[in-house]
Amino acid sequence: MKFEEALSRLEKIVAEMEEGDLSLDQALKKYEEGIKLMRLCTKVLEEAKKKIEIVAGGSAGEVELKPFGPGEAGEKPGELF
């Protein structure tokens, strides 16, 4: 399942549970599915975070890996483009 699909399904589950029209059994099943989807989304995001690194040359010529974060490319925190 793609990240976008999992996130969309998770959002739908949250909305269904917030409505409060589910039986206890249905709510527990939705909760379990939501936990699985949340873990999948978290795993995908963590893997993506690990892949986004900037390779920068150190002062002695060695290669230094730095995590990519706001401000690294001159953008303001929270700014995507």
CB within 8 Å of 37: residues ≥ 6 apart:
6, 7, 9, 10, 13
List, for residues 20-43, the tens digit of each pLDDT value.
999 999 999 999 999 999 999 999
Give the pLDDT of residue 21: 94
Give the pLDDT of residue 81: 31
**The pLDDT of residue 76 is above 70:** no
List, for residues 8-25, the tens digit of each pLDDT value.
999 999 999 999 999 999
Give the pLDDT of residue 80: 38
Give me the long-range contacts of 33-36 (CB less than 8 A, separation at least 24): 33/9, 34/10
Q: What is the residue-averaged pLDDT of the chain?
A: 78
